[in-house]
Amino acid sequence: MKNDLSKKSGFTIIELLVASAIFVTFLVVAVGSFTRVLQVQRTLARRIVMTSALEATIESIAREIRIGQEFTPLNATTNSISFKSFSTHAIDPSSISYTFDVGTIKKTDSVYEGSVTPSNVIIKNGTFIVSQKDSCQPWRITIALSAIPAGSGMDKPEERVNMQTTVTSRILPVDIKGDPYRCKSM
């Protein structure tokens, strides 16, 4: 038997280089896609956590608004709201105010003064819209805000969360002690 190298089967160096190049190309595309999926998943997770925290904050504010009365400023769009509320379970309502301040929502009442914004959220902007058709109709307050996650460094559109809710006070002007709006005579 004669040892003939020309009849041995195998790959040439060119075939190996082409196959390696194709494999590396697919690998780069797969790793790039996987990295993008991870980035989207992280962004989505941050948004879910931030949205949940904001929902809890807005619901807390809405609870006080539902049992509030005498909202100011009336028929205006502003970054702060003041009203009287029975949230302390006192005989007489206490004065409460909320303000969209630099990066946060601040609450002021007889017991507490400070931020009610979760630590993982920065409020970019927010407004309260207080409306009432006439002095004997219930107050309607719309809370609209825009926020980004704290520590993100940049305001990326895909991480910004916009929220809005409208709350109607359950206390009617006719129910206020002394009927200051003279609703019973109407």
Please list the residues that pair with 73 across neighbouring strands: none
pLDDT digits (tens, 9 = 90+) for 152-177: 666 778 788 999 999 999 988 888 87
**Strand arrangement of the beta sheet that strand 76-78 belongs to:** 76-78, 121-131, 140-149, 161-168
User: What pLDDT shows up at residue 2?
Assistant: 54
Is residue 134 predicted with pLDDT exceeding 90? no
Is residue 5 predicted with pLDDT exceeding 60? no
Confidence of residue 9 (pLDDT cuts 50, 70, 90): confident
Q: Where are the domains of the chain?
A: 21-175
Q: Evaluate whether 100 touches 58 at the Cβ level (below 8 Å).
A: no
Confidence of residue 44 (pLDDT cuts 50, 70, 90): confident
Four-residue CA torsion sign, 93, 66, 49, 145: negative
User: What pLDDT shows up at residue 6?
Assistant: 59
From first CA to last CA, the distance across the chain in angstroms is: 120
pLDDT digits (tens, 9 = 90+) for 106-125: 999 888 899 999 998 999 99
Question: What's the CA gap between 171 and 175, in Å, rounded?
Answer: 6
Q: Evaluate whether 80 touches 128 at the Cβ level (below 8 Å).
A: yes
Q: How far is CA 150 from CA 11, 47, 58, 100, 159, in A?
A: 56, 11, 18, 16, 11
Q: Does the predicted model carry a pTM greater than 0.75?
A: yes
Is residue 182 predicted with pLDDT exceeding 70? yes
User: What is the pLDDT averaged over residues 85-99?
Assistant: 81
User: What pLDDT shows up at residue 144?
Assistant: 96
pLDDT digits (tens, 9 = 90+) for 57-73: 999 999 999 999 999 98
Supply the mean pLDDT for the chain. Answer: 88
Q: How far is CA 124 from the centre of its chain?
A: 10
Q: Evaluate whether 65 touches 167 at the Cβ level (below 8 Å).
A: yes
The region, left, alpha or beta by phi > 0 then psi within -120 to 50, assigned to residue 167 is beta
